[in-house]
Amino acid sequence: DGGITQSPKYLFRKEGQNVTLSCEQNLNHDAMYWYRQDPGQGLRLIYYSQIVNDFQKGDIAEGYSVSREKKESFPLTVTSAQKNPTAFYLCASTTGRVAGANVLTFGAGSRLTVL
């Protein structure tokens, strides 16, 4: 079945450590996104990529980095520069080609806790 796979589902990190969250899709989607969600809040955009080897910062990119070397993959690295990284991280994708077809498919999420 086509979909988005995020891993790991749960991750614990010590302060000062970088961690990388994986996001893989087999939907042949061009555009991919990373969102962050804090308790009781909506989703905030971290980074997005509309094509391989290109990506743009979202509203809260500081302390995060991404790469898009393959169409299927869009990993997110949470660096030690991110002051409050404990959150639920969601990856999404869409075809990105047709207006009115901006239907996002989301992964199940990765919950990061900094100890």
In this chain, which of 33, 55, 64, 74 binds another protein, going by CB under 8 A?
33
60 touching another protein, by CB under 8 A: no
Instruction: Please select the residue that binds another protein; options are 68, 85, 94, 114, rule is CB under 8 A.
Output: 94
Q: Which is nearer to another protein, 61 or 63 (CB)?
A: 61
Residue 64 in contact with another protein, rule: CB under 8 A: no
The Cα 100–Cα 115 span in angstroms is: 42
| Whether the Cβ atoms of residue 73 and residue 84 lie closer than 8 Å to each other | no
Query: Is residue 70 close enough to count as binding another protein by CB under 8 A?
Result: no
Phi-psi region of 73 (alpha: psi -120 to 50; beta: other; left: phi over 0): beta
